Homo-oligomer: A and B are copies of this chain.
Amino acid sequence: MDKVATPAEAAPEVDLGVLNDVIGFRIRRIQNHLSRQFLERITDTQLRPGGFSALALIAANPGLDQTTLARAIGFDKATVVALLDGLESLGWAERRRQTEDRRRHALFITAEGETALARLSRIAQENEAAAHATLTEAEQAELYRLLDKIYAACFSEPEL
């Protein structure tokens, strides 16, 4: 027994100091916790981080190519190759060579993939149940709006 403590046990009031105004800090704390717990819940699957996201995006965007997928989840294209190898060996997704541009792979989810995705979605929801429960619907909508606004802003901002 020596795992990373959940925030629950953290309790002791720690002053955030200058981190009070650092968005990245607040976000990372939550992200760390959520992703760690999510991965624990799906240890039975051979899924790596990003696997769920990749599967979900393929499902929602049939024919997606690998480069676009890589950008959407913020990974390197080489990392996506390994991710897809995993999804294919599970029989959850497949690559089809595009005829118009034979360099490209069009990605599709399989029937088994759909089943797996449904289960993973359910687990993701359970994983975030506490977070969802603590927000009203309006608050949740507002949170999404603000996060999307920030994401988009990382955008237009060329590099600076």
Residues of A with Cβ closer than 8 Å to B? 2-10, 12, 14-19, 21-35, 38, 53, 56-57, 59-61, 64, 68, 70-77, 117, 121, 124-135, 139, 142-144, 146-160
Contacts and interface: CB of A to CB of B under 8 A. Distances in A.
A63 to B, nearest CB: 12
Contacts of A24: 31, 34-35, 38, 124, 127-128
Given A34-B24, A142-B146, A143-B143, A12 B71 contact: yes
B29 A151 contact: yes
A8 B155 contact: yes
A121 B8 CA distance: 28
User: Main SS of the interface on chain A?
Assistant: helix
A135 B154 contact: no
